[in-house]
Amino acid sequence: MMVKTRKVRPAAEPDSPLKSSKDLDVIWKALADETRRSILDCLRDGPKTTTEIVERFPELTRFGVMKHLQVLRDASLVLTHEEGRTCVNSLNAVPIRLIYERWVSKFAEHWAMTLIGLKKSLEKMPREDAKGQRSRNND
């Protein structure tokens, strides 16, 4: 069986972070559309042919799904290769991970520590029991 690879913009490597906001803009714009997010959800289960993806979106034309796939390819969120006359699409989670590392992970530690502090403060406060009497949490 001959496998032919379609020219696709190379995926961003984990060691080479996105260098400009322009790189991120393409990804954010691709993720902004609900249909494109649904296509990515569909691909989370594994690679799918274009026909299989089209069948999951009966409200769209084949051309419409293919336009969405192209936006996802341009953002390197979907990789495509050809197997004979069939195009197989697969999820590339690297750009999403890079966004997570840049935008979410920096705040995760701060918020985790804040929530732990809040939990400890609440545990130290007296609370009312079922009879309406105040008691101290002695855990």
> What pLDDT does 48 receive?
97
* pLDDT tens-digit map of 1-48: 454 555 444 444 444 445 566 778 899 999 999 999 999 999 999 999
Is residue 75 exposed (0-12), middle (13-18) or buried (19+ Cβ within 10 Å)?
A: buried
**CA torsion sign, 103 to 108 to 109 to 114?**
positive
Domains in the chain, please, with CATH? 3-8+18-93 (1.10.10.10)
pTM over 0.75: no
Give me 17's structure tokens.
């972070």
Max mean pLDDT range (66-70, 108-112, 118-122)? 66-70
> What pLDDT does 129 receive?
61
